[in-house]
């Protein structure tokens, strides 16, 4: 299954070096854990999916292919149902444009070699293919 992670260009060099290593998983107003967020949606506009920031967190799209039942990968709605107060889960979904049904979280690190595709959109619109050379010399 192909999932997508969106981020800003500022973070791309360290992601290409270290992989997808962190993200905020708000389980409540004061309970924030680490997880990397993904979506089944292959496009995003600023503000969608909770991508609210002073920088355009929709400028870079990283695709990762996951195996069915892969350890560490959780559909957000299933994960939240067991760990998050329903009102908090609704608030997150609302803040993310009602797109929680497309969200997944990964509890772990995704190394750059797992990236199926990295695309950069010049203005946060539709992605335009751009080649990058990772630290290990691989062209993404």
48-106 pLDDT, tens digit each? 666 666 677 778 899 999 998 999 999 999 999 999 999 999 998 888 889 999 999 99
* Residue 100 belongs to domain with CATH number: 3.20.170.30
Report if residue 90 sits inside a domain. yes
* Tens-digit pLDDT profile for residues 103-136: 999 999 999 999 998 988 754 444 444 455 544 4
Report if residue 108 sits inside a domain. yes
* Tens-digit pLDDT profile for residues 84-95: 999 999 998 888
Report if residue 138 sits inside a domain. no
21 HSE (CA, 13 A, CB side) = 10
* Tens-digit pLDDT profile for residues 28-42: 888 989 999 999 998
Sheet order of strands, 128-129 included: 73-75, 103-106, 36-39, 2-7, 60-65, 115-120, 128-129
- The pLDDT score that the predictor gives to residue 28 is 86
Total domains present in the chain: 1
Could you give the CA distance from residue 123 to residue 114 in angstroms, rounded to a whole number? 26
- The pLDDT score that the predictor gives to residue 104 is 97
Residue 124: CB atoms within 10 A of its CB come to 17
Report if residue 137 sits inside a domain. no
**Residue 107 structural domain:** 2-129
Report if residue 81 sits inside a domain. yes
């Amino acid at each position: 299954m192909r999932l997508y992670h969106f981020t800003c260009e500022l973070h791309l060099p360290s992601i290409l070096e270290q992989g997808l290593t962190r993200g905020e998983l708000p389980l409540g107003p004061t309970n924030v854990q680490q997880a990397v967020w993904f979506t089944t949606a292959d496009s995003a506009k600023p503000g969608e999916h909770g991508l609210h920031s002073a920088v355009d967190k929709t400028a870079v799209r990283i695709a990762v292919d996951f195996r069915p039942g892969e350890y560490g990968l959780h559909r957000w709605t299933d994960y939240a149902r067991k760990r998050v107060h329903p009102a908090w889960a609704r608030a997150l979904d609302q803040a993310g444009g009602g797109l929680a049904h497309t969200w997944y979280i990964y509890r772990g690190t995704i190394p750059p070699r797992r990236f199926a595709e990295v695309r950069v959109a010049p203005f946060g619109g539709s992605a335009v293919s751009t080649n990058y050379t990772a630290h290990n010399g691989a062209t993404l």
